[in-house]
Copies of this chain bind each other. A is one copy, B any other.
Amino acid sequence: MKDDAECATVYNMRTLKIPTASEMSLTKVCNALGDPVRMKIAHCLASSGEKNCSAFEVDHISKSTLSHHIKLLREAGIIQPRIEGKHHFYSLRKDELNTRFPGLVDMILQTGGLD
Contact = CB atoms under 8 A, between A and B. Distances in A.
Contacts of A108: 26
User: Quick one: copies of this chain in the complex?
Assistant: 2
A110 B29 CA distance: 14
Chain A interface size range: 20 to 34
Interface in A5-37: 25-36
A89 interface: no
Interface stretch (A63-71, A79-87, A97-105): A97-105
Contact of A111 (B26, B104, B107, B111): B26
A92 interface: no
Interface of A: 25-36, 39, 101-104, 107-108, 110-111, 115
